[in-house]
Structure 1
Amino acid sequence: MAMKSSPLVENKLTEIKVIDPQVTAPKLRKPHHVGHRQRLKAKFDRRGEAAFHDYELLELLLFYAIPRVDVKPIAKDLLTKCGSLLGVFGASAQTLKEVKGAGESVVHILKLVHTLIGRSMQENLQGKTVLQSWHQVIEYCTARMSYNQQEQLRLLFLDQKNQLISDEVQQVGTVNHTPIYPREVMRRALEVNASALILVHNHPSGDPAPSKADIELTLKIQEIGAQLGIKLHDHIVIGKGKHNSFKAMGLL
């Protein structure tokens, strides 16, 4: 004898959905940056830097510092914060960390690249007559010092042929002052057997105009150097992407 199901059971049965194995659920959408990294790398390999905005080149570098994250906003924020690629590489760790997403790994890779840029440019000066490679000297000093947030004194010691013997940071000061000791400058020049030197210091304010104190100290160093047979060729003041030369200004 056939048994009839109750209305309650029939209602429950109609609520059960039969899943057709041939019908697949829609795929979950991947984050938009998935695949972007490979596409950007391939574009660089294919077309080179000319096809890229600055933020895209910075993105490529940040890929190696931050895995599996969309780094485009970080790259753009770094450029906005620091003003330029050189500003990003030259910025202090503290400044870089003020950008959301820029942690220790980002700071590390940016400062490493900044060091490599400086080393390669310094290497390019070795064995050359510095006074005949003046544009390279300015580019080198700008890359090394332009965005430092503390004043520092850099000394370029030259031999009799005006070739670079040594490049040294002698003093690091505050945001607006570096203690310069003329006798210490000359003592070091004698130690490395220099025949001439170039002074370089930066102004974190960005304004490369020399102060009265800068001028007085420079003339004192020139005077002591003349007594010792060490010529002061120039004193360069580096601002943010700008510079002033004492020689060009008629101060030396």
Structure 2
Amino acid sequence: MANLHDIVQWCNQTLKANEFKDYAPNGLQIEGTSEIKKIVCAVTASEDAIDAAIAQQADVLLVHHGYFWKGEPYPITGMRGNRIKKLIQHNISLIAYHLPLDAHPVLGNNAAIADLIGLKNLEALDSSEKYPIGNIAYLEHALSPEQFKTKLQTIFDFNVVHLPSDKPQIKKVGFCTGGAQDFINKAAQENCDAYISGEVSERTFYEAKELGVHYFACGHHATERYGVQRLAQAIADQFAVETIYFELNNPI
């Protein structure tokens, strides 16, 4: 058994959460019981994830996508009100880390997919960022675009969208998980052969072609499954609590 605030403090320090300018608050978003035995982690604090936490009798729901995003209306009503009400009624805390969990060099989403793909020698996609939320790395052996797409589809179990350029081989890869398709411009500035993110926009088709960078959309959810699992395991190792990952395969 561990104390809620000890866990949150450790996570905040480990992820350097207070040093990020983010779109939502990082850390403890909804406070439940102070005594923690079990944590359910998920990519997003959806109603399904909450129901899984309730079914598992968890004390904490740990996610990448939490609540209280900038621009959201203030009233806690409707879908969001229903989610928050369930958490409070069952005394379950909600802990969320967004950009800090993308950026962490060991626990983060980008570090995790680099390991899965076999990308080496990580660098910052944007060297002006103190804690880069995008990276550049290198394949050990160059692949054709078709070979690289097949590799990504196998890793992420996702119907990868490939927007081609005219480069015949891929060695240097830029990447940022989630909805960071517009960082393809940064990848082009760094002479990357390819760029990976989760989502894709209509404009990305033309950017890939005209910037000369292969673009691979591997799924917002699919590319961000891993950071929250790594963080949950690190918490389990530090505090000896039980952790369970909830997967709801989002096709976006």
Q: TM-score range by the shorter chain?
A: 0.3 to 0.5
Higher helix share: 1
Higher strand share: 2
Q: Which protein shows a greater Rg? A: 1
